[in-house]
């Protein structure tokens, strides 16, 4: 019988270098491990790989069409089972955990691509294909046992569990260490830039807190998760969506610039393209800051709004640069439970119109929150696509503005 705690410790010993270099927040790591363990338990990858190999052996001995059809059906079931149903496993933090644990080969699309590639390459060698599928099954068995053991061990030991609550929201910034730097001075400077942007949003929307409240911080990358006021969620989702779309629309132009450079086009032409991309990015981020001010600002003081818009614009440029350099942003939105009728109504008493109206309003709010959560997840996942290898679209630091806001609110 497998001892889950001993297996978890064994995994840690084997991977001590990786764990030492990538210190994750234990509570968040626990959440990802639980989701991975549930996924692997449901997917049953080792068993289905073995089933495919067994059916292939039967086909090798009989060579009948029904046997071949059974194998194809089993492969289709295997590929479908490997699909991830838990959307949070596609979030940036979870992806980093998956990469650090070297289990990405068991998740889509890598796993599905590997199965398809193996079948294609060995389509005329059924014996070799069967053996390859069994090797994949053995590897999957070993890794999924480790994941399940860690999950069981964490549960048995009562390890902390950090997940956004049903009535809360949070935003996380995952910053590459090689971009930010390794010293306390580097980290202080980086967090100061983040603080300026967060304070601008907080004050603009009249959030309950001016200074962002830190929920967790860890250092595989520099990872900081901050509490979000409900009024801030839409602003941040909109900002991340727009920045991601800006990169998508401008990367093609930047790639064209590189291609022209490779073809020995005059440097004057490639420089003009670079300046145009930089100009477009800066102008659109400026427009985004103005739009956020117009649609979400809750301050009557025009002069103060001007100052906050300037700070917001510079903060968005800073964030876009970091995302272009490989930083990820993760927004998580908690969803309250669906409201249920009070006991009196459940027992047959006719509910009042006021109660029905409140119930309808609550359900409408939850539906809107679900839509917002889906948008947040999609935008967060897209930040991982930009990648550290993408060409830089913002090469210049934002220039200080004469109306730049100080780091404290005017009324403080």
The pLDDT, as a whole number, for residue 394 is 60
Instruction: For 205-216, give the secondary structure using H, E and C.
Output: CCCCCCCCCEEE
With H, G, I as helix, E, B as strand and everything else as coil, classify residue 305: helix
CA 277/CA 262 separation, integer angstroms: 18
pTM of the model: 0.82
User: Dmax over Cα atoms in the chain, in whole Å?
Assistant: 84
Contacts of 13 (CB under 8 A, 6+ apart): none
CA 91/CA 103 separation, integer angstroms: 16
The pLDDT, as a whole number, for residue 193 is 95
Token pair for residue 158?
């009562």
DSSP 122: T
Specify whether the CB–CB gap between 71 and 77 falls below 8 A: no
> How many Cα atoms sit within 13 Å of 28 on the Cβ side?
27
The pLDDT, as a whole number, for residue 5 is 45
The pLDDT, as a whole number, for residue 354 is 83
Contacts of 39 (CB under 8 A, 6+ apart): 84, 85, 86, 89, 107
The pLDDT, as a whole number, for residue 317 is 92
The pLDDT, as a whole number, for residue 395 is 59
Neighbours of 302 (CB within 10 A): 8
Q: What is the DSSP string of 337-360?
A: PPP---HHHHTTPPPPHHHHHHHH
The pLDDT, as a whole number, for residue 173 is 97
User: What is the residue-level pLDDT of the chain in tens, covering all 412 positions?
Assistant: 445 445 444 444 444 444 444 567 899 999 999 999 999 999 999 999 999 999 999 998 888 999 999 999 999 999 999 999 899 999 999 999 999 999 999 999 999 999 999 999 998 899 999 999 999 999 999 999 999 999 999 999 999 999 998 889 999 999 999 999 999 999 999 999 999 999 999 999 998 888 989 999 988 789 999 999 888 999 999 999 999 988 887 766 666 555 556 666 666 766 676 677 778 888 999 999 999 999 999 998 999 999 999 999 999 999 999 998 889 999 999 998 887 765 445 556 677 888 888 888 889 999 999 999 999 999 999 998 875 555 555 655 555 543 344 444 544 4
Which residue pairs from 378-382 have beta carbons closer than 8 angstroms and sit at least 24 positions apart in sequence?
379/237, 379/240, 379/241, 379/244, 379/329, 379/331, 380/91, 380/92, 380/240, 380/328, 380/329, 380/330, 380/331, 380/332, 381/90, 381/91, 381/92, 382/240, 382/241, 382/244
CA 59/CA 48 separation, integer angstroms: 16
The pLDDT, as a whole number, for residue 411 is 46
Specify whether the CB–CB gap between 192 and 314 falls below 8 A: no
Alpha-carbon distances, residue 407 vs 193, 317, 401, 412 (angstroms): 10, 17, 14, 11
């Amino acid at each position: 019988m497998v001892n889950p705690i001993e297996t978890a410790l064994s995994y840690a010993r084997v991977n001590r270098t990786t764990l030492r270099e990538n210190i994750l927040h234990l509570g968040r790591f626990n959440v990802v491990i639980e989701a991975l363990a549930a996924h692997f338990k449901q997917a049953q990858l080792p068993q289905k790989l073995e089933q495919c190999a067994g059916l292939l052996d039967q086909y090798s001995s009989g060579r009948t069409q029904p046997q071949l059809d059974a194998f194809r059906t089993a492969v289709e079931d295997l590929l479908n089972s490997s699909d991830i149903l838990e959307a949070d496993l596609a979030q940036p933090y979870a992806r980093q955990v998956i990469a650090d644990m070297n289990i990405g080969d068991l998740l889509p699309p890598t796993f599905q691509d590997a199965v398809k590639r193996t079948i294609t390459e060995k389509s005329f060698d059924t014996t070799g294909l069967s053996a390859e599928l069994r090797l994949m099954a053995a590897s999957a068995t070993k890794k999924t046992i480790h994941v399940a053991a860690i999950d069981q061990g964490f549960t048995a030991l009562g390890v902390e569990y950090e997940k956004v609550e049903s009535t809360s929201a949070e935003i996380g910034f995952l910053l590459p260490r090689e971009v930010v730097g390794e010293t306390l001075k580097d980290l202080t400077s980086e967090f100061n830039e983040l603080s300026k942007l967060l304070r601008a949003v907080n004050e603009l929307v009249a959030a309950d807190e001016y200074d962002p409240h830190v929920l967790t911080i860890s250092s595989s990358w520099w990872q900081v998760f901050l509490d979000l006021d409900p009024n801030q969620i839409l602003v941040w989702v909109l900002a991340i969506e727009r920045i991601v779309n800006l990169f998508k629309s401008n990367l093609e132009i930047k790639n064209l610039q590189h291609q022209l450079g490779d073809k020995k086009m005059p440097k004057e032409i490639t420089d003009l393209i670079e300046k145009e991309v930089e100009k477009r990015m800066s102008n659109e981020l400026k427009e985004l800051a103005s739009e956020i001010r117009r649609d979400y600002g809750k301050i009557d003081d025009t002069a103060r709004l001007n100052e906050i818009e300037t700070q917001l614009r510079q903060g968005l440029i800073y964030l876009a640069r970091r995302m272009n350099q490989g930083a990820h942003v993760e927004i998580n939105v908690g969803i309250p439970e669906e409201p249920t009728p009070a006991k009196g109504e459940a027992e047959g008493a006719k509910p009042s119109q006021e109660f029905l109206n409140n119930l309808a309003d609550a359900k409408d709010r939850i539906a809107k929150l679900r839509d917002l959560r889906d948008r947040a997840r999609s935008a967060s996942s897209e930040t991982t696509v930009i990648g550290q290898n993408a060409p830089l679209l913002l090469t210049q630091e934002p220039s200080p503005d004469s109306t730049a806001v100080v780091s404290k609110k005017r009324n403080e």
